[in-house]
Amino acid sequence: MDPAPFHYAKEKLGLKVTSYVPKPWTTVLTDIDSGQAEAVVGGIWCPLIYKHRAADYYAFAKVASRCPLALLSHQPMENFQWKDLEGKKVLTSGGNGASPGLFLAGVAAEGGADVSKIHFIHDFTIAMLQELFEGGFGDIIMMKADLAAQMEAKGKGFVVSDLTITGGPVPWSVYYATPETLAREDNLCGRFTQGLQMAQTWLREHDGYDCRQILARNWPKVELDKAMALVNEYCQQGMWPETVRIQEEELNRWQKFLVEGHVIDGVIPYEEIVDPRPFRYAAEKLGL
């Protein structure tokens, strides 16, 4: 049986949620602009970069507060420090968005590294980079933490840093929409945020085993034991905090990385990138 919040969302909140992953991923912007889709789940860097330039999108709820990636090297690097990346060729995927490279550069600089001395390679898909890395290309590759652990177990590299832990909190993955959708009279985004908050609260009170049916249904290619273990790890590592509210301090930290990466000119005020109304609605309904 599915967890109670999902039944409640369907029956009491009047929500019928469908999702899809288009190729190329940038089609999501066309779809929310045209009204084919109501919201996008993805990196908040996209609304930030588009703001005042090409389009006006607002984030309204957060679903991930950590970067679920890790660094894998060809050789062990004991007592790893961010300065150890200097002089290294670091492979970071750019095929599905700008987040990985910008985030890693920001965290490295925050940790005392001279980013100008790190040689980032980010013009290829992660599948290409992984194949090239296994063939000896580069010194370090940035990839999903669970995949990096699997490669280490197979003797194909050494995990030197799990960014879920060492990267610190940021609004890594959020829901965002157009002003028109957020202004709907039926408060669709507010009701959705209420359901999302209920689900996240439920998740924090349970474990991976309780999620097994959801995991099996949505990620059938992933071994169930590994998927359940990953849910437990993420809960312990702060992936899902108490609320889905986008925190201003975390957002400003992420923006600082984007400024340093020369993709935005300065920190954009919180109220210009986050619409607080959906979470306010959810908080009121749930007594938060």
CA distance 139 to 72: 9
Q: Which superfamily does 69-166 belong to?
A: Periplasmic binding protein-like II (3.40.190.10)
Report residue 218's pLDDT band, with 50, 70 and 90 as the boundaries: confident
Q: What is the mean pLDDT of residues 247-268?
A: 96
pLDDT above 70: percentage of residues in the chain? 95
Report residue 8's pLDDT band, with 50, 70 and 90 as the boundaries: low
With 50 as the cut, is the pLDDT of residue 152 above it?
yes
With 90 as the cut, is the pLDDT of residue 278 above it?
yes
CA distance 84 to 90: 11
pLDDT above 90: percentage of residues in the chain? 76
Name the residue ranges covered by the structural domains of the chain: 4-66+170-286, 69-166
With 90 as the cut, is the pLDDT of residue 257 above it?
yes
With 70 as the cut, is the pLDDT of residue 215 above it?
yes
With 90 as the cut, is the pLDDT of residue 11 above it?
no
Strand order in the sheet with 173-177: 40-42, 173-177, 58-64
With 60 as the cut, is the pLDDT of residue 146 above it?
yes
* Average pLDDT over the chain, rounded to an integer: 91
DSSP secondary structure letters along 174-224: EEEE-HHHHT-TT-HHHHHHHHHHHHHHHHHTS-GGGGHHHHHHH-TTS-H
Side chain identity at residue 278, one-letter code: P
Q: What is the mean pLDDT of residues 141-150?
A: 89
CA distance 20 to 15: 16
- What pLDDT score was predicted for residue 162? 93
Q: Which superfamily does 4-66+170-286 belong to?
A: Periplasmic binding protein-like II (3.40.190.10)
With 60 as the cut, is the pLDDT of residue 248 above it?
yes
Intrachain domains 4-66+170-286 and 69-166 with the same fold: yes
**pLDDT tens string 21-76:** 888 888 999 999 999 999 999 999 999 999 999 999 999 999 999 999 999 999 99
Report residue 96's pLDDT band, with 50, 70 and 90 as the boundaries: low
With 80 as the cut, is the pLDDT of residue 2 above it?
no
With 50 as the cut, is the pLDDT of residue 1 above it?
no
CA distance 76 to 145: 17
Element housing 40 (H / E): strand 40-42
155 burial level (CB within 10 Å; 0-12, 13-18, 19+): exposed
Lowest mean pLDDT among 69-73, 106-110, 228-232: 228-232
Greater confidence (125 vs 192) lies with 192
Greater confidence (193 vs 220) lies with 193
- What pLDDT score was predicted for residue 4? 54
- Structural tokens at position 54: 């090409």
Side chain identity at residue 53, one-letter code: R
